[in-house]
């Protein structure tokens, strides 16, 4: 009997975790630039990278150690948007260039991603 209760609790916890882990990252209070970046990210990048940059089945999470500033400085973002990215870290395929996103817009997108990263211990 006890065991049954325990199993039920574990099952519920497991289901909660699966449900949550989709977006189980800390969302910080965003600066003004970060908020503008979040909007630009939602309309240009989220299809593949997810609303909170946690990844989808089309693209990787950017809130990930691989993309910490030392490994992928801001220049990598401008390059990715302008020239696309040949698949090298993951197996989602290539990232195509994203036309129509200005340099200033990428600056805001970078602010958003860096704020998410910092809030999740990636710096
Ligand atoms: C059509 C899907 C798609 C869209 C839209 C997309 N990306 Fe990507 N992106 C990818 C994939 C896939 C990779 C991973 C390539 C690899 O390393 O295997 C990637 C990688 C990256 C990288 C890492 C670059 C590097 O040097 O390794 C950055 C930064 C990035 N994307 C930023 C963005 C931003 C910013 C936007 C929106 C303006 C965006 N992406 C839109 C699919 C996408």
Instruction: Give pLDDT tens digits for 78-118.
Output: 999 999 999 999 999 999 999 999 999 999 999 999 999 99
Domain ranges (residues) in the chain: 27-119
Token representation of residue 5:
């209760």
CB 40 within 8 A of CB 108: yes
Using an 8 Å Cβ cutoff, are 94 and 85 in contact? yes
Superfamily of domain 27-119: Cytochrome c-like domain (1.10.760.10)
What are the tens digits of pLDDT across the range 4-58? Answer: 666 666 556 555 544 444 568 999 999 999 999 999 999 999 999 999 999 999 9
User: What pTM did the predictor assign?
Assistant: 0.87
Are the CB atoms for 117 and 68 separated by under 8 Å?
yes
Query: Mutation test of ligand 1: which of 37, 49, 58 has the most ligand atoms closer than 8 Å to its C-beta?
Result: 49
d(CA 119, CA 31): 12
Residues with CB under 6 A from ligand 1: 44-45, 47-49, 58-60, 72, 76-77, 80-81, 85, 87-90, 92-93, 95-96, 98, 101, 109
pLDDT at res. 101: 98
Distance 59 CA to ligand 1 centre (A): 7
Q: Which two tokens stand for residue 98?
A: 């994203």
């Amino acid at each position: 009997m006890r065991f049954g209760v325990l199993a039920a609790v574990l099952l519920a916890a497991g289901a909660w975790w699966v449900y949550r882990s989709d977006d189980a990252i800390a969302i910080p209070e965003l600066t003004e630039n970060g908020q503008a970046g979040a909007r630009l990210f939602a309309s240009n990048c989220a299809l593949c990278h997810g609303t909170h940059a946690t990844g989808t089945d089309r693209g990787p999470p950017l809130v990930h150690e691989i993309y910490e500033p030392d490994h992928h400085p801001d220049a990598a973002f401008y390059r990715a948007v302008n020239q696309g990215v040949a698949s090298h870290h993951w197996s989602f395929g290539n990232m195509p260039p994203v036309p129509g996103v200005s340099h200033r817009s990428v600056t805001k997108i970078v602010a958003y991603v860096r704020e998410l990263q910092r809030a999740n211990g990636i710096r």
